[in-house]
């Protein structure tokens, strides 16, 4: 159990049989009336985000979530096989748990997996990764109809939009949260 004074971003609450992670919160003390805490919470399983208000000092049930550093080993059909970096235990994780950023995962990449009672809830990818461009068409000088970008296929098979000056074989820094091109990497 935790009080609203113990709220922090990332805390996982157990409410109505579901697990909710606090995305953001704000303590509010209006001029009239009692203080309260306004929160934005996200369902860990479905990803649904809702706004919820708690009276100040209310006790809420928390869930124990164990964050583990794991290494992505390989794909087994649809699942991702991850190995715990401490005890070398391997687990299979579904694509839904891995999230959209998993399309940028290379073998031996570290990810942080949040576990609750032995079940993987969600995975946090590195914020950015460096990947090689497998294929992209040459950019034509003066072609601004596409906003100065073109599609490029990366070594993981993911496709991203890149500036016209990027060529096949270039190494790029990609943001795993939204798939944006950040910069070119010089080795």
pLDDT tens string 121-176: 888 888 899 999 999 888 766 656 656 788 899 998 889 998 888 888 999 999 98
Is residue 133 within 8 Å of residue 152, measured between CB atoms?
yes
pLDDT computed for residue 143 by the predictor:
59
CA 72 to chain centre: 15
Give the burial class of 9: count Cβ atoms within 10 A of its Cβ; 0-12 exposed, 13-18 middle, 19 or more buried.
Answer: exposed
Q: What integer best gives the mean pLDDT of the chain?
A: 86
What would the pLDDT profile of 12-45 be if each residue is shown by its tens digit? 888 888 888 888 999 988 888 889 999 999 888 7
Is residue 39 within 8 Å of residue 22, measured between CB atoms?
yes
* Distance of alpha carbon 164 from alpha carbon 178, whole angstroms: 20
Residue 182 has pLDDT above 70, yes or no: yes
Phi, psi values for residue 92, rounded to 5°: -95, 135
Which run of H or of E encompasses 163?
strand 159-163
pLDDT computed for residue 124 by the predictor:
85
* Distance of alpha carbon 27 from alpha carbon 44, whole angstroms: 23
Closest to 164 (Cα-Cα) out of 128, 186, 133: 133
What is the pLDDT confidence band of residue 185, given thresholds at 50, 70 and 90? Answer: confident
Share of the chain above pLDDT 90, in %: 19
Is residue 39 within 8 Å of residue 7, measured between CB atoms?
yes
Closest to 45 (Cα-Cα) out of 24, 64, 19: 19
Tell me which DSSP letter residue 33 carries: S
């Amino acid at each position: 159990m935790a009080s609203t004074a113990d709220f922090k971003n990332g805390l996982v609450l157990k409410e109505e049989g579901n697990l909710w992670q606090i995305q953001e919160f704000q303590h509010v003390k209006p001029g009239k009336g009692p203080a309260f805490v306004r929160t934005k919470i996200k369902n860990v399983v479905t990803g649904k985000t809702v706004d919820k208000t708690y009276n100040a000092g209310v006790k809420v049930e928390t869930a124990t979530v164990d964050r583990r550093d794991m290494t992505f080993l390989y794909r087994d059909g649809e699942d991702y096989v991850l190995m715990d970096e401490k005890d070398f235990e391997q687990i299979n994780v579904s694509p839904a748990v891995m999230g959209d950023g998993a399309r940028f995962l290379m073998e031996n990449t570290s990810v942080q997996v949040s576990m609750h009672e032995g079940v993987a809830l969600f995975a946090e990818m590195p914020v950015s990764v460096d990947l090689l461009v497998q294929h992209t068409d040459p950019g034509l000088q003066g072609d601004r109809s596409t906003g100065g970008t073109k599609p490029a296929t990366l070594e993981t098979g993911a496709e991203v939009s890149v500036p016209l000056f990027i060529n096949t074989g270039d190494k790029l820094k990609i943001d795993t949260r939204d798939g944006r091109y950040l910069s070119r990497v010089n080795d």
